[in-house]
Amino acid sequence: MLQTKFVKGTDITDLNEKLNRALSETTSEKTEVKYFLDDFLAIIEYELHEVYKDRYCSECAYWDGESDRSSLACFCTMTGKRMRYNCHACVQYKDIRG
């Protein structure tokens, strides 16, 4: 998901310090900065790292493996489809720990 952060400074030095601080807090791999130096303004556009992209179906709370514990494919109670244990999780991913 694309996010924006506005950084406003009182002068060019203040803008530089605030922008560097804001960029150091951003963990996104895709970051773009747009500068409006006449207004001492910078806009940071970045993409959030979605947790589900690092997970597998078998780690999801919707994974139903009760029928056969030795099976490599089970049932997703959210989508109603059969999924393999190593399929990457979808946007509906729900962490079983949370």
All structural domains of the chain with their residue ranges:
2-47, 53-98
- Terminal Cα-to-Cα distance of the chain (whole angstroms): 21
**Which residue blocks in the chain are alpha helix, DSSP H?**
12-25
* pTM of full prediction above 0.85: no
Q: Report the 10 Å Cβ neighbour count for 1.
A: 7
**pLDDT tens, residue order, the chain (98 aa):** 788 999 999 999 999 999 999 999 887 878 999 999 999 999 999 987 676 677 877 777 776 766 666 667 777 777 777 777 777 777 777 776 65
Question: Residue 66: its pLDDT value, please?
Answer: 66
